[in-house]
Amino acid sequence: MIARDSFEDDLAIGDRVLVETDVYGHAVSFRSILARICPSELWLGLGSSDRRIETIGPDQQVQLTIARTGAALVSRSAFLRPLGGGKSRVFAVVRPNVLERVQRRSYVRYQIDLPVHVRHLDPDTWEPRGKSAITITKDLSPGGLSFVSDAAINLGDDLDLTLPLSGLDRLTMNGVVKRLARQTDHGDSVPGSQTHHTEVAVKFTRITSLDQDRIVRIILLAEHHRRLAAMAGQTSPTN
């Protein structure tokens, strides 16, 4: 599902970089902006200070994912140091010699109803902004999803998407709006009343391989339950 090609260094100030590592045995990620490119290191800036940065030790392994249209550049690196004191928003990592271009291929979408929280991403800080709009997915795959919403969403918008699971568990990813389909519902209770909705198709631009695997498991479990329900309906006695 993922094709990898060796790719020469193609970094630029302002690139959006996802940094993934472990903190006290738990997988964590930091959304950052490439602030400075040095011969042997990269300086990455956060939208706000994060105390977890101070708990990462020198030379600790990290994975970098640099967003690209329809793909991503990925590489292993190592944490160097926080920059700027106790509430630092900037930190340094080793500059990779070679990045790999990860080309995500198309996935078959599976029709499934799950709650999804949607927020816009700030184009300057790459941080979610505003209040979440809560809606329901129409379909889902490891590469994207679609939903219907009455929120103001435009083609090309960058979105922050959260799928709540059980308890505090959740999936969080970024995506870009690839297709819009306007819909109008004609109300039955009030003559002439109309409600306007938009079907929004989103392609993921930032999602971990682990979360893609979890989406596959969610789909397989939903299909298993659907088949069990269908079998139960076929074997139930008729009155």
Residue 204 has pLDDT above 80, yes or no: yes
Residue 194 clears pLDDT 80, i.e. is over it: no
Average pLDDT over residues 197-210: 87
Average pLDDT score over residue span 222-233: 83
Average pLDDT, stretch 6-26? 77
CATH 2.30.110.10 segments of the chain: 2-104
Q: Which of 73-77, 157-161, 232-236 has the highest mean pLDDT?
A: 157-161
Q: Give the least confident one: 1-5, 131-135, 157-161.
A: 1-5
Mean pLDDT over 169-187 rounds to 80
**Beta-bridge partners for 31:** 18
- Alpha-carbon distance values, 25 to 60, 96, 152 (Å): 12, 24, 39
> Which string of DSSP letters, residue by residue, matches 40-88?
SEEEEEESS--GGGGGSPTT-EEEEEEEETTEEEEEEEEEEEEESSTT-
Given a contact cutoff of 8 angstroms between Cβ atoms, the answer to whether 17 and 32 are in contact is yes
13-33 burial by CB neighbour count: b if 16+ within 10 A, else e? Answer: eebbbbbbbeeeeeeeebbbb
CA distance 163 to 174: 11
Residue 170: band (very low, low, confident or very high) from pLDDT cuts 50, 70, 90:
confident
Q: Using one digit for the tens of pLDDT, what is the confidence trace for 99-110?
A: 887 655 567 889
The correct answer on CATH 3.40.50.300 for the domain covering 110-228 is no
CA–chain centroid gap for 154, Å, is 18
State the Cα–Cα distance between residues 37 and 99, nearest whole angstrom: 15
The predicted model gives 135-139 an average pLDDT of 95
Q: What is the pLDDT of residue 208?
A: 83
Q: What is the pLDDT of residue 185?
A: 59
Name residue 59's amino acid: D
- Average pLDDT for residues 137-143, to the nearest whole number? 93
Number of C-beta neighbours around residue 142 at 10 A: 24
Q: Please give the residue that has the higher pLDDT: either 239 or 30.
A: 30
Mean pLDDT of 194-212: 83
- pTM greater than 0.85: no
CATH code: domain 2-104 is 2.30.110.10
CB atoms within 10 A of CB 95: 18
**Alpha-carbon gap, residue 14 to 35, rounded angstroms:** 6
What pLDDT is recorded for position 69?
A: 63
Delimiting residues of CATH 2.40.10.220 domain(s) in the chain:
110-228
The average pLDDT across 50-75 equals: 83
* Amino acid (one-letter) located at 92: A
Q: Where are the alpha helices (DSSP H) in the chain?
A: 209-235
User: What whole-number percentage of the chain has pLDDT above 90?
Assistant: 31
